Structure 1
Amino acid sequence: METAAAASLSFPVISMEKLETEERAVAMEVIRDACENWGFFELLNHGISHELMDEVERVSKAHYRDRREDKFKEFAARTLKAGEKGDDVKDVDWESTFFVRHLPASNLADLPDLDDHYRQVMKEFAAEIEKLAERVLDLLCENLGLEKGYLKQVFAGSKGSPTFGTKVSSYPPCPRPDLVDGLRAHTDAGGVILLFQDDQVSGLQLLKDGAWVDVPPMRHAVVVNIGDQLEVITNGRYKSVLHRVMTRTDGNRMSIASFYNPGADAVIFPAPALVAGGAAEEKEGEEGGAAVYPRFVFEDYMNLYVRHKFEAKEPRFEAMKSAPAAPIATA
Structure 2
Amino acid sequence: MVVLTEPDIDHLPIIINSCKSPSFFNDIPVIDLSKPDSKNLIVKACEEFGFFKVVNHDVPMDFISKLESEAINFFSSPLSEKLKAGPADPFGPADPFGYGNKKIGQNGDIGWVEYILLSTNSEFNYQKFASVLGVNPENIRAAVNDYVTEVKKMSCEILEMLAEGLNIHPTNVFSKLLKDEKSDSVFRLNHYPPCPDIQEFNAKNLIGFGEHTDPQIISVLRSNNTSGLQVLLKNGNWFSVPPDQNSFFINVGDSLQVMTNGRFKSVKHRVLTNRVKSRLSMIYFGGPPLSEKIAPLPSLMEGEESSLYKEFTWFEYKKSAFKSRLAENRLTLFEKFGAS
Give me the TM-score of the superposition, normalised by structure 1: 0.79
In the alignment, what sits opposite 1:326? none
Summarize the alignment of residues 123-272 of structure 1 with structure 2, pairs less than 5 Å apart: 123-147=145-169, 148-154=171-177, 160-174=181-195, 175-176=197-198, 178-179=202-203, 180=205, 181-199=207-225, 201-209=226-234, 210-272=236-298
What SS does structure 1 have at the residue aligned with 2:316?
helix
Structure showing greater relative contact order (alpha-carbon pairs closer than 8 Å, 6 or more residues apart): 2
Unaligned runs of 5+ in 1: 19-23, 73-77, 80-89, 278-287, 323-331
Separation in 2, partners of 1:15, 1:160? 29
Q: Secondary structure at the match of 1:17?
A: coil
Q: Give the residue type in structure 1 aligned to 2:252.
A: I
Is 1:166–1:258's contact at 8 Å kept on the other side of the alignment?
Answer: yes
* SS across alignment from 1:184: strand
Checking the alignment, whether the CA contact within 8 Å between 1:41 and 1:225 is kept in structure 2 is yes
2:119 to 94, 98, 101: 101
Q: Which runs of 5+ in 2 are unaligned?
A: 1-18, 84-100, 103-107
1:30 counterpart = 2:41? yes
Aligned residue for 1:257, secondary structure, equals strand
| Distance in 2 of aligned mates of 1:7 and 1:132 | 26
> For 2:245 and 2:229, how far apart are their aligned partners in 1?
15
Q: 1:41 aligns with which of 42, 52, 58?
A: 52
Deviations 1:227-257 (A, max 9, x none): 0000000001110011000011011000111
Closer, same or farther: CA 118–68 of 1 in aligned 2, 3 Å? farther
- What are the superposed Cα offsets for residues 76-104 of structure 1, whole Å, 9 maximum, x if unpaired? xx99xxxxxxxxxx94111000111111x
State the AA in 1 paired with 2:26.
Answer: L
Shift of residue 154 of structure 1? Answer: 4.9
Contact 2:212 2:326 in 1 (8 A): yes
CA distance in 2, matches of 1:120, 1:262: 24
The 1-side partners of 2:78 and 2:158 are apart by 34
Return closer, same or farther for 1:217/1:12 CA change in 2, 3 Å cut-off. Answer: same
User: In structure 2, what residue type is equivalent to 1:235?
Assistant: N
Cα distance in 1 for partners of 2:22, 2:78 equals: 37
Offset from partner CA, 1:136-182 (integer Å, 9 cap, x none): 110111122212111133567xx753112211110011121654100
Report if the CA contact (8 A) 2:156-2:178 is conserved. no
Could you tell me how far apart the structure 1 residues matched to 2:214 and 2:233 are? Answer: 16
The answer to whether the 8 Å contact 2:126/2:140 transfers is no
> Which of 176-185 and 165-174 deviates more?
176-185
Answer whether contact 2:109 2:326 (CA < 8 A) is retained.
no
* Identical positions, percent: 26
